[in-house]
Amino acid sequence: MDKVKCSILRREVLPGIVAGQAGPDDREAVKNLMVQTAAWLQSKGSKQWHELLAGEDRHGMEEAIGRGEVFIFKQDGIIAGMAILQQHASNWDRSLWGDEGHESSVYLHRLCINRDFQGKQLGNAILHWAQQDVRFPGKDRIRLDCIASEPSLNRLYSGAGFTYKGPSASGEFSLFEKIQPETSLG
């Protein structure tokens, strides 16, 4: 698969925190951030991302970095946050969303924030950046899912302007979508 083609319209997501695509030199830092996030989630009583603590990566991070789908947000050379923006629906996405709308959608996965940057509203800033400041040719919406029983995650996404599209068939996940503004589509 070819490397993701995108246009980054604005790089600074918060003062001093700059967006870019992760490269091979970022692999270890990205992995460490995901494991740190999984451990933090576990400390809060969540089993979300628990497979990362066992060394399992269901999103194929190495390959995703190679495809240019991993976006990192750095301050002074330190990764403050990251997210995957996939142009093609994975089997997971298809199982949650069904057969419709995949050609026009980008899928946001693995949004995580370095705990040293918590409380700075970086998660909201990354979501805003993904909606307003990066464009993928032929794509007009961003889709994501989260655990339905995590009210803070559901509030984060609805508060960032994503529309709740309903529960997954199992009811375990909430589905959210945001149509990007027509004036700035890729």
Q: How far apart are CA 58 and CA 41, in angstroms?
A: 17
Using the predicted structure, report yes or no on whether residue 184 has a pLDDT greater than 80: no
Q: How far apart are CA 48 and CA 25, in angstroms?
A: 27
Question: What is the model's pLDDT at position 117?
Answer: 96
List pLDDT tens digits, range 4-33: 788 888 899 999 999 999 999 999 999 999
Q: How far apart are CA 157 and CA 146, in angstroms?
A: 9
Using the predicted structure, report yes or no on whether residue 149 has a pLDDT greater than 70: yes
- Rounded mean pLDDT of the chain? 91
The average pLDDT across 101-114 equals 95
Q: How far apart are CA 61 and CA 24, in angstroms?
A: 11
Question: What is the model's pLDDT at position 57?
Answer: 85
Percent of the chain with pLDDT over 70: 96
Using the predicted structure, report yes or no on whether residue 70 has a pLDDT greater than 80: yes
Region class of 45: left (phi > 0), else alpha (psi between -120 and 50), else beta: left
Using the predicted structure, report yes or no on whether residue 86 has a pLDDT greater than 60: yes
This prediction's pTM: 0.92
Q: How far apart are CA 99 and CA 122, in angstroms?
A: 32
Using the predicted structure, report yes or no on whether residue 135 has a pLDDT greater than 50: yes
